[in-house]
Amino acid sequence: MPHSWLCDGDRDCSDGSDEAQCGTSAIVAPPALPMTHAALQQACTDSEFRCNNGRCVPFRYRCDGQADCTDGSDEVQCPSGPNVTRRPISAVTPASFALQRAFSFRDVSSADCAGLRTQNCAVVLNNCGDPETGLWISCSSLAGDIETTKFLQKVGRLDADRGLDLVLIGERRLTLELFAPVASDLIALGFGRFPRLRMAVVTSALVQATRLQDLEFHACEGIIIQRNDFVSLPSLKMVSFTRGSTIASLEENAFASLPNLSHLSFEALIDTTVTLSTGLRDHLTRLHCSVQYKWLRDWLQSRPDLLAPKASGMVFAAGGVANSELRKGTIYIPVDCASSTLVASNPDGPFSSLMDA
């Protein structure tokens, strides 16, 4: 379960443990698989290279001219000459240059993190002292614009030089000034319960977030996305619309400006055994069945990798922040356009019954 669903006011675990011991402030618990030093000491396969910090990256990334290990060890002691394969220099954008700089993971104590806490914003306390993890920070819907801004300014002054995973719950003003103190280290960003959200507003406020790789929307109804909204975020690898988030408008080829996009989630953790809300039915009908969005279905059919299951850290892993496991059945709802319920009887079916199997 994504860590951004912890302490957000919704019971996602059947036993309610994701909402236990949350207190009154929005203290976000660690992710289901935090990128701690112990977690990183995984067994690499024969086709993977082990970084000095224990992380595994595809072996083809070894000595390719671009740092993929957060410590840069995949580019150390490399041969040079005509036989060395390098990524095309034309593919290196200013955003990818920013991603190449390794995080230094400066020491941060639990006391330092505790000092950042405001009434409705907080940092996870139990991962501050770990030398290999990012920082997970969150503000609840009770945090107003002033409190959120001051909290992010305090996080920026901490100068931890680690990846940041930020979750903002509730509707608020999104500006360059809000994100500026943390923009350079922001790896993942989630919005929750933000109605009628315009993607253009989100991305224009994030133009300085040149390392941002994950953008998630949880229970955000009526999202509007235009064609060029993602142009300022070429580093994005994962975009997710989950927990009942609905898209009111999606302009054709809206994702075309994301050259590094590796994963899309359209619907996740939605109980399909109960009557779907009107908004969700409209969303499913629009994206999965309407002629207007045939372009989307054709594009997804040409890019099956975007909707495929993926292991933890497979989509992105930077600064101690990585994607959680993306399991089959939690990425989209298979839709039968001929059914009155819209939900296909086969849970492993295609995105839409109008697509080829």
Terminal-residue alpha carbon distance, the chain = 28
Q: Which residue has the higher pLDDT, 84 or 319?
A: 319
Q: Which amino acid is at 320?
A: G
Total-model pTM: 0.74
Decide the pairing of beta strands 135-139 and 186-192: unpaired
Residue 112 neighbours by CB under 8 Å, 6+ apart = 128, 158
What is the per-residue pLDDT for 87?
35
Share of the chain above pLDDT 70, in %: 76
Q: How confident is the model at residue 357 (pLDDT cuts 50, 70, 90)?
A: low
Buried b (16+ CB within 10 A) or exposed e, 339-351: eeebbbeeeebbb
Residue 5 neighbours by CB under 8 Å, 6+ apart = 12, 18, 218, 243, 269
- The dihedral sign for the CA sequence 227, 231, 233, 236: positive
pLDDT digits (tens, 9 = 90+) for 54-72: 777 766 667 766 677 767 7
What does pLDDT average to over the chain?
Answer: 81
pLDDT digits (tens, 9 = 90+) for 314-339: 999 999 999 989 988 889 999 999 99
Give the range among 80-89, 174-183, 199-208, 275-284 with minimum mean pLDDT.
80-89
- For the beta sheet containing 135-139, the strands, ordered from the edge strand earlier in sequence to the opposite edge, are 121-123, 135-139, 164-169, 186-192, 214-218, 238-242, 263-265
- Would you call 57 helix, strand, or coil by DSSP? strand
What is the per-residue pLDDT for 101?
57
Share of the chain above pLDDT 90, in %: 55
Burial class (CB in 10 A: 0-12, 13-18, 19+), 81: exposed
* Section 186-213 average pLDDT: 95
pLDDT digits (tens, 9 = 90+) for 264-273: 999 877 778 8
Q: Contacts from 276-280 at CB under 8 Å and sequence distance 24+?
A: 276/341, 276/342, 276/343, 277/244, 279/221, 279/222, 279/244, 279/246, 280/244, 280/246
Q: Which two tokens stand for residue 64?
A: 């390719």
